[in-house]
Chains A and B, each alone.
Chain A
């Protein structure tokens, strides 16, 4: 009896402890939870509701039109064209950012003179506000007074109309690659975390520099690379501000003046919302895009399962505890 009471007492105490712990847990995460509900889940749900209407954003009436906006979006060549441009942007930017960032990080990880200064120089563009950087590039690429054409003129080349036609897409690529230093910093941190004994072991086994990089360094930093692939992909797919700032017009007219080559998905969505007042249609576009990004992310995770190596197997981590 005594032992039973004791056992019950322990169990009760344990339950109280657990309750108190979970209370503290929820108290600590409540700001985030409240923020998520109010600023993410509610807008998502509201956008979902709007996507089934033909609301124009200011009219008092909202007519329920079912899946019409989704059908219109899927049948709209302009939407597919903007999606294609966004895909092209991602295909160009993601590998260049990841590989370029890794390459620069490998160089800056070597013991060279003025290494700290060089690291700072590479990272500096990443802390320049994107708006300032984009507008600066816009001036540099100006056909008649830009420095880029000024430089080309030294070699007798004719001025290039960078801000029109397909060339403006090149400018967008340059603007987006300008901030590559942020990836360099992450890669540098990952490289410095690779155990030196692994490299020593590889060297003893006769591995050359490339083999050591391929079989030791790359697997070791692969989780960091996966993180960058996913965040960079999502970031590139959501690109909006640089494309808008490269528009020849300013103010409210800017969105509709974005050159066709730069009419990526988010530009199209924004234009549908605020230039064409098609709130329902634009919301449907966003939901379709959300699903597409979700699929891309899942595929990336699935594919990465065979190529990413963890020091601790994430699936085993919980069991060890």
Chain B
């Protein structure tokens, strides 16, 4: 189960040319269908997933296959060749980032980074972000105001990228204060800590300032490329992979530049909140074949082609030299990215609830925090309770006391 735009017909044909005895039936990536297939006990052999947020969940429930024995005996892909990002697919039973691998990254980026329109920054007289000096979140909010242009009630350009108080975004922000949202055993969250409150308050302030798309003024395109390309937003929330989209329009390539992850606190942390890849179902009847495809797709010829396109960073270190550098924006983005990699950190998410559910619980209360019917403190309190209820339910199912 993956995306037809990623496991293309060309990829399948190339695989079949080498492995005519291992046919591939592609099921389009669909979480609802995956749930149904898991519930029926007939999951797909290989499943696309976001390693950063799903590993704890699928590994702790025994849904995903431990890949370490395969890595140990593989002649194609050695564990030492894996980029550090593959650690997000590791789970030791209590902590993400350690233990066995339960999936492999396809391509990745550090997702708290953002792209910006050089011209919009210059017009507003705002200094350009540099690789070694990231902006602070309060600076982002401040700078977004003069870059936001309105006329006749319509927004001609927003200064800030699209924001939403997701658990991934809040965790990334809190990490820069050396804090955490989840407790040690990942059984509870606390949004009432001063650090988490600062993060929540920032999202509320952005929604009130109306200097970017938010949950209350959603991005009609669903992602930041179309409005960034059309100069309707001066910043786009995306990591290195966005460069693949920028390559489609030479005019956008002239003004698009990559910036390091902003900071809420004083510690530089730049996590990957997706680390998209694939895992093999523990119930698969074709585990060996699924692994053969997985390592070929993640580290073989298709991975080399993807690296050359700039749609993300490769999962193996040997392919790093394939990343595009022919255009100024590409070489500058790569330089920023290389510097940023030292701040990559795995943030553990709980195995007891899906991140979509946690983020939905936060989003449910967010409008009331913005319109003032809930104070920031009440918002933090009620969100903490709602999310902890979800986690408690997940723990009960896992046979643990909530």
Partners in one complex: yes
Asked whether any CB of chain B lies closer than 8 Å to the CB of A3, the reply is: no
Point out the residue from B154, B217, B398, B399 that lies within 8 Å of A164, measured CB to CB: B217
Of the stretches A89-97, A99-107, A205-213, A244-252, the one at the interface is A244-252
Q: Quick one: closest A residue to B354, CB to CB?
A: A277
Identify which of residues 110-161 in chain A touch chain B, using a CB-to-CB cut-off of 8 Å.
Answer: 138, 142-145, 149, 153, 157-161
A149 CA to B63 CA in the complex, in Å? 49
Q: Quick one: closest A residue to B156, CB to CB?
A: A144
A256 CA to B358 CA in the complex, in Å? 10
Identify which of residues 355-402 in chain B touch chain A, using a CB-to-CB cut-off of 8 Å.
Answer: 356-357, 359-361, 363-364, 367, 390, 393-394, 396-399
Min C-beta distance of B102 to chain A, whole Å:
15
Asked whether any CB of chain B lies closer than 8 Å to the CB of A2, the reply is: no
Most chain A beta-carbon neighbours within 10 Å: one of B62, B155, B354, B399: B354
Please tell me if the beta carbons of B393 and A278 are within 8 angstroms of each other in the complex.
yes
CB contact under 8 A between A144 and B154, given known A161-B217, A252-B356, A274-B31: yes
Please tell me if the beta carbons of A164 and B218 are within 8 angstroms of each other in the complex.
yes
Asked whether any CB of chain B lies closer than 8 Å to the CB of A5, the reply is: no
A158 CA to B153 CA in the complex, in Å? 5
Please tell me if the beta carbons of A142 and B218 are within 8 angstroms of each other in the complex.
no
Most chain B beta-carbon neighbours within 10 Å: one of A56, A274, A276: A56
Instruction: Note all chain A residues with C-beta closer than 8 A to B217.
Output: 143, 161, 164
CB contact under 8 A between A143 and B357, given known A58-B38, A276-B390: no
A271 CA to B215 CA in the complex, in Å? 17
Query: Can you list, as one digit per residue, whether each of A232-257 has a CB less than 8 Å from chain B (1) or not (0)?
Result: 00000000000000001111110011
Q: Chain B interface: which size bin?
A: 35 or more
> When A and B form their complex, what is the total count of cross-chain residue pairs whose Cβ atoms lie within 8 Å?
95
Instruction: Note all chain B residues with C-beta closer than 8 A to A274.
Output: 31-32, 35
CB contact under 8 A between A159 and B153, given known A58-B39, A144-B232: yes
Asked whether any CB of chain B lies closer than 8 Å to the CB of A63, the reply is: yes
Point out the residue from A54, A159, A277 that lies within 8 Å of B357, measured CB to CB: A277
Asked whether any CB of chain B lies closer than 8 Å to the CB of A10, the reply is: no
Asked whether any CB of chain B lies closer than 8 Å to the CB of A320, the reply is: no
Please tell me if the beta carbons of A250 and B61 are within 8 angstroms of each other in the complex.
no
Point out the residue from A59, A251, A260 that lies within 8 Å of B367, measured CB to CB: A260
Please tell me if the beta carbons of B39 and A248 are within 8 angstroms of each other in the complex.
no
Please tell me if the beta carbons of A54 and B153 are within 8 angstroms of each other in the complex.
no
Min C-beta distance of A316 to chain B, whole Å:
49
Please tell me if the beta carbons of B61 and A58 are within 8 angstroms of each other in the complex.
yes
Asked whether any CB of chain B lies closer than 8 Å to the CB of A21, the reply is: no
Query: Can you list, as one digit per residue, whether each of B210-233 has a CB less than 8 Å from chain A (1) or not (0)?
Result: 000001111110100000000010
Can you show 10 pairs from A to B with CB atoms below 8 A apart?
Answer: A56-B397, A58-B38, A59-B61, A144-B156, A149-B153, A159-B154, A160-B153, A249-B218, A249-B222, A278-B393
Using a CB–CB cutoff of 8 Å, the interface residues on chain B facing chain A are: 31-32, 35, 38-39, 61-63, 152-156, 215-220, 222, 232, 353-354, 356-357, 359-361, 363-364, 367, 390, 393-394, 396-399
A-B complex: 3 closest residue pairs judged by Cβ atoms = A248-B218, A158-B153, A256-B360
11 additional A-B pairs beyond A143-B155, A275-B360, beta carbons within 8 Å, are A61-B397, A63-B396, A143-B154, A144-B154, A145-B220, A153-B152, A158-B152, A256-B356, A256-B363, A257-B218, A276-B361
